[in-house]
Amino acid sequence: MNDQAEMLRRIVNTYDQEPATSEPVKRAKVITVTSGKGGVGKTSLTVNLALQLSMRGLKVVILDVDFGLANVDVLFGIVPKYTLLDVIRGEKNILEVLTDGPDNIKFLSGGSGVEELVRLDRKSLRKFVSNINILDKLFDIILIDTGAGVSRNVMNFILAADEVVLVTTPEPTAITDAYALVKMVSRRDQKKKINVLVNKADSVKEAENVATKLCQVSEKFLSLKLSKLGYILYDDNVTKSVKLQRPLSLYNPKCHASKSISEIADKLTSGPETEVQGAKGFISKLLSFFGHN
């Protein structure tokens, strides 16, 4: 790790200590949604999963770090005024850059700005970190929508998260690219919790086969155990809702894809409570990675 990155990480960890208390510190769970191949349905899933989680009473924020075309704001039909960069530059506080989405969810456009973090001086970084800590207090879940592929940035968002949702379709190229991504992760973190989700499947059986195959090869050749999160069948309602810029769960809550996403939300929230490092831990890790790549 280079000196600059190490110094920044120390600042995050030392200057921002919570008061000593026996109460567990509240943290938001950071979940990165990613894929090896593009166009497999990450953004649609992120938006609809956020809504489903919100309907379960959880406070959710979407961090959009993808600069592709079908972005979160396009799906919502809302253009955010500010981005995380405005916070990094000290021009806005975190509350000012959170945009209201439907049904109580918030979203925040971020991404490339994160690289500017390494150039901040101590004072600015401290200010930024205390802004980030507010996210832990305000939210239960931070869903990060990434671009596809194994770029350095995407890999960092994966490695720094508490959990990962890896989306693939049954297309052979999508499965191979998903495997390539798991392989990259396994070189850096053998214990990363990766949840596999098969989207646009023709049948439950096909989805099951894809998930099983991916889990088997990852365990056999990479010694990394993946979890199966579920599947979403190919459903025209998804495309229709995108065209209308209306999230699927609001456009057609009873369609097949909506029901599947609802089951996925149940599964994501039903597991045993695991300790999460939250937004603060996420930023601390991201900073440490700057020195590694």
Ligand X SMILES: Nc1ncnc2c1ncn2[C@@H]1O[C@H](COP(=O)(O)OP(=O)(O)OP(=O)(O)O)[C@@H](O)[C@H]1O
Could you count the other beta carbons within 10 Å of the beta carbon of residue 172? 9
Say how many CA atoms lie within 13 Å of 210 toward its Cβ. 31
Q: By C-alpha distance, which of 184, 117, 109, 188 is closest to 151? A: 184
Tell me: does residue 249 bind Mg ion (CB under 5 A): no
| Residue 41 binds which of Mg ion, ligand X, none (CB < 5-8 A, kind-dependent) | ligand X
CB of 235 to ligand X, least distance (A): 4
CB of 243 to ligand X, least distance (A): 8
Q: Which residue's structure tokens are 């890790």?
A: 285
CB of 237 to ligand X, least distance (A): 8
Parallel/antiparallel/unpaired status of strands 106-109 and 99-100: antiparallel
Smaller CB separation from Mg ion, 9 or 42: 42
Q: Hey, what are 47's tokens?
A: 């938006």
Q: Which residues bind ligand X (CB under 6 A)?
A: 35, 38-44, 66, 68, 70, 147-148, 199-200, 232, 234-235, 238-239, 242, 257
CB of 72 to Mg ion, least distance (A): 8
CB of 232 to ligand X, least distance (A): 4
Instruction: Burial-class residue 17 by CB neighbours within 10 Å (0-12, 13-18, 19+).
Output: exposed
Tell me: does residue 109 bind Mg ion (CB under 5 A): no
Tell me: does residue 43 bind Mg ion (CB under 5 A): yes
Tell me phi and psi for residue 69, to 5 degrees: -85, -55
Tell me: does residue 46 bind Mg ion (CB under 5 A): no
127-137 burial string, b = 16+ CB within 10 Å, else e? Answer: ebbebbbebbe
| Residue 148 binds which of Mg ion, ligand X, none (CB < 5-8 A, kind-dependent) | ligand X
Smaller CB separation from ligand X, 63 or 88: 63
Task: Tell me which stretch binds Mg ion (CB under 5 A): 63-71, 120-128, 163-171, 276-284.
Answer: 63-71
CB of 39 to ligand X, least distance (A): 4
Smaller CB separation from Mg ion, 60 or 129: 60
Could you count the other beta carbons within 10 Å of the beta carbon of residue 124? 15
Q: By C-alpha distance, which of 41, 35, 39, 47 is closest to 75? A: 47
Q: What track of x and - describes contact with Mg ion for positions 66 through 85 (by CB under 5 A)?
A: x-------------------
| Residue 182 binds which of Mg ion, ligand X, none (CB < 5-8 A, kind-dependent) | none
Q: Which residue's structure tokens are 């940035």?
A: 153
Task: Tell me which stretch binds Mg ion (CB under 5 A): 34-42, 158-166, 253-261, 278-286.
Answer: 34-42
CA 184, CA 181: separation in Å to the nearest integer? 5
Residues binding Mg ion (CB under 5 A): 42-43, 66
